[in-house]
Chains A and B, each alone.
Chain A
Amino acid sequence: MDLRTRLTRVALAQPAVLLVTSPGATRERLAVEAELERRDWPQAAGPASADLVVFAGTPLPVREDDWAERVWQGVPAPRARVTVTDAVHAAHALDHGHATLLKPGTQHAGHQGHMNHQGHGADHEHESGHGEHGGAHEEHGGHEEQADHGGHEGHGGHEGHRPNGEHAAHQGHGHMDHGGMDHGAMGHGGHQHHMGAVAGLPMAERAADRDELRLDRLHVPLGPALPDWPAGLVLRLELQGDVVQRAEVDPVPTPSASGPAFWNEPWLRAMTGEPVTVGEAARRQCAAHLDSLGRLLGVAGWIDAAGRARDARDSLLGGAGRDELVPRIRPLVRRLRRSWTLRWLLAGVGAQARGPVGGDVHSRLIAWLDAIEHALDAIDGRERLPARPLRGPRGRVDTETPPSQSLLDALPELLEGAEFACARLIVASLDPDLDELAPQQLPVGRNHG
């Protein structure tokens, strides 16, 4: 083992992981998050700071745009990626990704491990992402070619050691960038922006701001790979500075993972007539709210409290007893209720008088806290869940439209005029679960009929 390999081994003993969740892969995400917590591996906020990309669920292209590939292109070498399609194999997949990361070949030679963790059959294929292998560009994302070369010509001053730079069509955090916009616009002809393009990237256009000054307005797709972001959600924003002037929810691609939406599972099972105890449902509900809470606190930048909420969620789902849970959750809930800084920062953000999302971000957070405490009391309930009404974490499960649909419908209006940080908070405070939108989750007709 030469020095370089050994150094890498030490350096990457705890790789930074970028976890990208696809809709329908909540179970996988939770498994990976719990595993990361156990190993004490940090989570990266974006591709540039990541070593290992973990796709929870197979990422689906949005509007023919292979965003997952772009996220991957944004990750600096040494890097590795794994796809976890079964929660049981999360730990194994992480091991495998880590091993690939440490393999001497991945360092700077231009070979990145790319494997798929479906069960144990990890198929290996090598990708060349490095600049030296210029010809390999077409292999992934040939549709980016034009734009990439445009970028090339526009900027002569690239340094030699900048492998994926020009290929990585990655901004807006790679998640979906101008390049992505381009595809969106191309694929769906009648998109409403007509902008010039420089270096293959669409440019900003002018529009009136809230003081009716004509200022630059940038079209930015947000999602689907952002930290603490609802899996699969893509918002098309028009930004002026960091003020959201218009927002539009992109249609959600159908989740690939079959099976009921994870957070609604007990109620959906009860709907089909399976015996489900009140305790089981309460446990899932409590965990769902803690999950939402963890993400909202993560977006609000309270890392400490967010970590506590996630720990509590993991031990809830791990089946910890009530005696163990109460001393973990109660102090957290009390602390959040009492925090005046949290109230000062969240009150009045995303306020709406009525409707399914009445109140503001802070009152929604308080509502979660109430529901968590309420569910915590019922966690040992052994009686059977009544057949109706079936009220899941986000609302009635047994209606025609899933509750998350109304949350999504409320989004554009709430986001308009909000600053970017507030917009993130609003999305996190609604926390729509796109798993609910999957078609398999509507056995309603049968129940009604």
Chain B
Amino acid sequence: MSTAAFWLLAVVAVASGVMVFRFDSMARATFSLLTALLCVGGELIVLGLDYLGIVTILMMTIEMAIMAVFMVMFMMNPAGLMPMTMIHNKRGAAVICALAFALLVAGILLAPWPSRQGRPPADPTMDLGMSLMGPQMLTMMTLGMALFATIVATVVLATRRGRYDRYGDELQAAPPADPVRGGVGR
């Protein structure tokens, strides 16, 4: 049963992954990528990592939906009327892909996989989390803060309108000069 599910999901994942490059519409490509990622989430669930699987589904759905926002920015024609290719720099991409694939396969074949000792834990997600976070809590927290700081810094650097643009040089303009007024009046 779970073997069948594994193979079914794997085939669908790979097939829709391939379709990402075959479709000539951004919407279709995005959603076939989403299908592939949902299948990967399903694989994780099949492997017993429920939490990771569901979180993958959740994150990927939202991520792809957000990608659709950018899609509309760059391609406003609804229904993908203007066909466009999803492939750029074909040769370079092919080389990189082949290399990455070869590397991964080599890793799978050459790595000295340990043989199983004992039984799988009742809650693999818990154990995974413990082994990731337990001894390295400080690393993880530092990493988290660093990532967050990077996000904030990027936004600050990228934004065109800072508070002096909004509130004037004295920071005293009563309603801030925004293109669209927000809901809190700040």
Q: List 27 A-B contacts (CB under 8 A).
A: A154-B81, A198-B77, A198-B81, A198-B83, A201-B81, A203-B77, A203-B81, A204-B75, A204-B77, A215-B76, A216-B72, A216-B73, A216-B76, A216-B77, A217-B76, A218-B76, A218-B77, A239-B76, A240-B73, A240-B76, A241-B72, A241-B73, A348-B175, A348-B181, A349-B181, A417-B179, A417-B180
Interface status of B91 (Cβ within 8 A of chain A): no
- State the Cβ distance, B24 to closest chain A Cβ, in Å: 12
CB contacts (< 8 Å) of A217 on chain B: these are 76
CB contacts (< 8 Å) of A213 on chain B: these are 73
Tell me the chain A residues, 278-322 only, with Cβ under 8 Å from chain B. Answer: none
CB contacts (< 8 Å) of B160 on chain A: these are 211-212
Closest residue on chain A to residue B72 by CB atoms: A241
CB contacts (< 8 Å) of B179 on chain A: these are 210, 417
Report how far A417 CA is from B78 CA in the complex, Å: 21
Closest residue on chain B to residue A347 by CB atoms: B181
Closest residue on chain B to residue A199 by CB atoms: B81
Contacting residue for B183 out of A240, A344, A418, CB 8 A: A344
Q: Is the CB of A419 within 8 A of B180?
A: yes
- State the Cβ distance, A363 to closest chain B Cβ, in Å: 14
Report how far A210 CA is from B179 CA in the complex, Å: 8
- State the Cβ distance, B66 to closest chain A Cβ, in Å: 14
- State the Cβ distance, A419 to closest chain B Cβ, in Å: 6
Interface size on A, residues (CB 8 A): 26
CB contacts (< 8 Å) of B78 on chain A: these are 171
Q: Is the CB of A241 within 8 A of B81?
A: no
Contact with A along B79-115 (1 / 0, CB 8 A): 0011100000000000000000000000000000000
Contact with A along B127-171 (1 / 0, CB 8 A): 000000000000000000000000000000000100000000000
Closest residue on chain A to residue B81 by CB atoms: A198
CB contacts (< 8 Å) of A52 on chain B: these are none
Report how far A418 CA is from B179 CA in the complex, Å: 8
Contacting residue for B82 out of A198, A212, A241, A348, CB 8 A: A198
Closest residue on chain A to residue B184 by CB atoms: A344
Interface status of A71 (Cβ within 8 A of chain B): no
Report how far A259 CA is from B179 CA in the complex, Å: 43
Report how far A297 CA is from B138 CA in the complex, Å: 55
CB contacts (< 8 Å) of A241 on chain B: these are 72-73, 76
Contact with B along A233-245 (1 / 0, CB 8 A): 0000001110000
Contacting residue for A203 out of B72, B82, B175, B181, CB 8 A: B82
Report how far A219 CA is from B160 CA in the complex, Å: 27
Given contacts A240-B73, A349-B181, 14 further A-B contacts (CB under 8 A): A171-B78, A196-B82, A198-B82, A203-B77, A203-B81, A211-B160, A213-B73, A215-B76, A216-B77, A218-B77, A239-B76, A240-B76, A241-B73, A417-B180
- State the Cβ distance, B44 to closest chain A Cβ, in Å: 34
- State the Cβ distance, A147 to closest chain B Cβ, in Å: 12
